[in-house]
Amino acid sequence: MYKYDNYDQTIVDERVAQFRDQTERFLAGKLTEEEFRPLRLMNGLYVQRYAPMLRVAIPYGLLSSEQLRMLAHISRKYDKNYAHFSTRQNIQFNWPALETVPDILADLASVEMHAIQTSGNVIRNTTSDQFAGIAKDELEDPRPYCEIIRQWSTFHPEFSFLPRKFKIAVSGATSDRAAIKVHDIGLNLIKNDAGEVGFNVIVGGGLGRTPFIGADIRPFLEKQHLLSYLEAILRVYNRFGRRDNIYRARIKILVNDLGKEEFTRQVEEEWSHIKSGVMKLDQKEIERVQRYFTSPEYDDNASDDTSFNELEKSDKGFSNWTKRNLFAHRVPGYKAVVVSLKAPGIAPGDATDEQMDHIASLADLYSYGEVVVTHDQNLILPNVKQANLFALWKKLSKKNLATANIGLLTDMICCPGLDFCSLANAGSIPIAKQINEKFDDIDYLHDIGELKIKMSGCMNACGHHHVGHIGILGVKKKDKEFYQLTLGGSAEKDACLGDRLGPSIVKEEVANVIGKLLSVYVEKRQDEERFLDTYRRVGIEPFKERVYPKTPAKEKAHANN
């Protein structure tokens, strides 16, 4: 993984000093609340419902075991012994005291981490494929480009006061595991007819109140133009993006208002002024950064030991886990292991200090000291030899980290919701709990198979409900919590937004309604169809009918609405 040199270290150290000074000025009354706000926001510090929340950047989701131990330490020393992994491959601390934040940042800087640009109207942490570097379908590792983008965007003087936040995702594989079509900019490494590798550039995707699938504005961009093209897009957005209404301020609105052709024309026009200058990216720099992302020394004979096949037959718990929590590795005899942070009764994505320390040790023992944070709020040990799977499973189980539910109904994505967030209309975590309690039979979950439930406590869509196979959106009606369901969304290659099922439902009924949806699926599914496939084939009607049976009285009530 990338290692800081003197330049990188100086920047994070100077940032700590700067924020310490800003915090001291605020606490001494020299800065007003209003003046301090943009400063703390640029450092990932929100004031939430009960306490400040500090979001720490995990660039493209990659952590060393040393860094994970530091996160555990911070949760112990400054917080309540746990932290929350977010859908954008970052980590959040929910209870730090404002005056300790400069010390937390100093601790982070000691392991090459920071909270720079984790909030505010700036270019945020660049996200990527959680299986980058090990996936079989990868054309090229996207992480060196994420790192190059990270450096270019860090304290970018021109783009630190954008109309709204700005998120970039990079994928290097055939399957899209980085949700590039629902980002402000999505970059996909592809090969052109001449055999050169470059980027397909997608702009203006996004969720939130007005969800859009991004527009393909450049089928192929040469690597040397990566930064100049990004700069051109950002400049057009910074100049012409709407600033009068925060709900209309994302780049997706600009792209949609101008139309794809006109937006593209403006970007290309801006680009023509800067493309051949200093913004051109040196091949030497690409190669320098790539050298940090080389493969570990894999064991050539790793596939010889097949003992785990026998253990799968004799141990049902282990075989359930290997069915769901492993991902194919490009090197024979290795697997990527998904560590579930979705145990029943735990808020999705939460990990305790003990669990983080434990995972860090296991990463050292079994996975070359690296851990990856996923978009689904789990962790990955990317390089595990198959001979070690059983021992690893046993050790993960000890700390409640081996729930065999990856990709299943209970592997929900969930925002912090009303329990923490000051924007939320409704709770998310209690719904996750309700679903976990109703669906506690592991065999049933395995039978239902892949099902992505995504849940947001308000229209800002931090839980990405639009692209859930089943999306759940919390709404408030007459001061009571209600939930709006959508079906058929996806954030992958076949990205699309879910369809609204019908009127919102009361809190107590959410898990029961999901049960009804699943009974329709079980009746209608053919062969190996997933819920999403069945939904796409049969449409929304059968699901609607089951959840909102048409009785004469109901019809009348609907007619009156």
Q: Which residues of the shown chain bind another protein in the complex (CB under 8 A)? A: 5, 7, 10-11, 14-15, 17-18, 22, 35, 38-39, 121, 151-152, 154-163, 227, 235, 238-239, 243, 273-274, 278-279, 282, 285, 288
Cβ-based nearer residue to another protein, 151 or 403: 151
Smallest separation, CB 203 to another protein (Å): 17
Angle at 330 between CA 329 and CA 333, to 5 degrees: 60
Contact 213, 268 (CB under 8 A): no
- The nearest distance, CB 478 to another protein, in angstroms, is 34
Q: How far is the CB of 154 from another protein (least distance, A)?
A: 5
Place of tokens 């999306």: 471
* Count, residues in the chain: 561
In the complex, the smallest distance separating the C-beta of residue 274 from another protein, rounded to whole angstroms, is 8
Residues 456-465 as b or e (16 or more Cβ within 10 Å = b): bbbbbbbbbb
Alpha carbons 51 and 242: distance in angstroms, whole number: 31
Nearer to another protein, 224 or 352 (CB): 224
Q: How far is the CB of 139 from another protein (least distance, A)?
A: 24
* Pick 115 or 445: Cβ nearer another protein: 115
SS3 content of the chain, % helix, strand, coil (to 5): 45, 20, 40
Burial of 5 (0-12, 13-18, 19+ CB in 10 A): exposed
Query: Which of 223, 530 has the CB closer to another protein?
Result: 223
Judged by beta carbon, residue 283 or residue 307, the one nearer another protein is 283
State the Cα–Cα distance between residues 489 and 541, nearest whole angstrom. Answer: 16
Phi, psi at 184, each rounded to 5°:
-60, -45
Torsion angle defined by CA atoms of residues 429, 434, 436 and 438, in that order, rounded to the nearest 10 degrees: -170
Shortest Å, Cβ 120 to another protein: 10
Cβ nearer to another protein, comparing 131 with 237: 237
Q: How far is CA 453 from the centre of its chain?
A: 14
Q: How far is the CB of 475 from another protein (least distance, A)?
A: 28
| CB of 264 vs another protein, minimal distance in Å | 19
User: What's the token pair of residue 428?
Assistant: 């998310």
* Closer to another protein by Cβ: residue 114 or 329: 114
| DSSP state string for 302-328 | TTT--HHHHHHHH-HHHHHHHHHHEEE
Smaller CB separation from another protein, 230 or 497 = 230
Task: List Cβ neighbours of 81 (8 Å cut-off, separation of 6 or more).
Answer: 75, 352, 353, 354
Write phi, then psi, for 460 (nearest 5 degrees): -65, -15
Nearer to another protein by C-beta: 282 or 441?
A: 282
Answer for the pair 267, 221: CB distance below 8 angstroms, yes or no: no
Query: Residue 478, SS3?
Result: coil
CB of 282 to another protein, least distance (A): 7
C-alpha torsion 419→422→423→427, nearest 10: 10
Q: In angstroms, what is the minimal distance from the CB of 521 to another protein?
A: 46
- Backbone Cα Rg of the chain: 23
Give the residue with the Cβ less far from another protein, 239 or 316: 239
421 and 49 in contact (C-beta within 8 Å)? yes
Cβ nearer to another protein, comparing 288 with 323: 288
Closest to another protein by CB, 120 or 333: 120
| Alpha-carbon distances of 40 from 52, 206, 238, 462, rounded to whole Å | 10, 25, 21, 20
- 413-414/470-477 β-pairing: unpaired
> Toward another protein, which CB reaches closer, 57 or 379?
57
Give Cβ neighbours of residue 538 (< 8 Å, ≥ 6 apart). Answer: 524
Measured from the CB of residue 168, what is the shortest distance to another protein in angstroms?
Answer: 15
Sign of CA dihedral 70, 72, 75, 76: negative
Taking the complex as a whole, the smallest distance from the CB of residue 287 to another protein amounts, in Å, to 11
**CB of residue 277 vs another protein: minimum separation in angstroms?**
8
Cβ count near 139 (within 10 Å): 15
Q: Quick check: 359 and 426 in contact, CB under 8 A?
A: no
